[in-house]
Amino acid sequence: MRLTGLTILAPLVFSAFLMGCRTDEEPTAAGPIEGVTNPSVEVLFDNTRALPVTGTFGWGISLLRVDPALNVSLSEVEERLHQSLLSALPGEGFVFTNTSPDYLVGFAVLAGASLDEAELNRSYGDLLAFPARTGAAPALNYSAGVLIVDIVESAHSHLLWRGAIKADIDMQLPTDRKQARCDGAIRELLRHYPSPPATGK
């Protein structure tokens, strides 16, 4: 009889220890993106709630930091990324609006440059209230070819999700293919929103 009691109790204890700990499947490897090689993705996400899958969005900051030797028009980069986001975000349930959006979508682009987390957060001014870091864990640093996309809850200036894709960028890519590159990078990042993609997504 004692054995029967333990048999029932053990799985319950086992399950209780694992309460609140979800196991996700391994994200699939990044698909090919034109003009981009060696991509890796880093995602910071609000762990306390389900991320939104519907609502309106408007533009947050555009931070563009580019080595002048690359001779890149920053406004053209911004235009391409806005276009990519306008195409991709409706697929995640978001609708663009110019007035009082639920969420602000901002981005940072680094090419031949670096940026630390604190500077990125400061760039938002009052639009982002980022929590102070605790403990010994280092702040995130971004360098080389990086695209960072932030989703911020407007009402509370609260960062919900920050996805960064870093990669080698082919700067010789013809201009007419650069939009496809932006589209591919945004698509790859948003594969991880609101949660990592399951195998085969």
Partner 1 sequence: MREQPTPIHHLARSWLDTITRTLPATLLLAAACGILPGCRLLVGTTVVAVGAVGLVGYGVYKTGEAAVTGVGSAVSGGAKGVNSVVFCDGEFKATCDGAVDDVWLASASTLKANGFRLVSGNRDALSGHLEAAAWDEEKIAVKLDDAGQGQTTFRMRIGTKGNLKKSETLYNLIVANITRRGGA
Residue from 51, 86, 171, 173 touching partner 1 (CB under 8 A): that is 171
Residue from 31, 32, 53, 74 touching partner 1 (CB under 8 A): that is 74
Rule CB under 8 A: is residue 62 a binding residue for partner 1?
Answer: yes
Residue from 54, 99, 134, 175 touching partner 1 (CB under 8 A): that is 134
Instruction: Select the span of 44-52, 85-93, 147-155, 177-185 touching partner 1 (CB under 8 A).
Output: 44-52
**Nearer CB in complex with partner 1: 178/192:** 192
Q: What H or E segment, with its residue span, contains residue 66?
A: strand 55-66
Residue from 34, 41, 55, 178 touching partner 1 (CB under 8 A): that is 41
Instruction: Select the span of 73-81, 88-96, 149-157, 176-184 touching partner 1 (CB under 8 A).
Output: 73-81
**Nearer CB in complex with partner 1: 48/100:** 48
Q: Who contacts 164 (Cβ-Cβ below 8 Å, separation ≥6)?
A: 41, 42, 43, 140, 142, 146, 147, 148, 149, 189
Give, as ranges, the residues between 136 and 155 that touch partner 1 (CB under 8 A).
Answer: 136-140, 143-146
Exposed/middle/buried for 178, CB within 10 Å: 0-12, 13-18, 19+? middle
Comparing CA positions, the residue from 46, 42, 43, 60 lying closest to residue 123 is: 60
What are phi and psi for residue 32, nearest 5 degrees? -65, 135
Rule CB under 8 A: is residue 23 a binding residue for partner 1?
Answer: yes
Comparing CA positions, the residue from 55, 33, 30, 21 lying closest to residue 192 is: 30
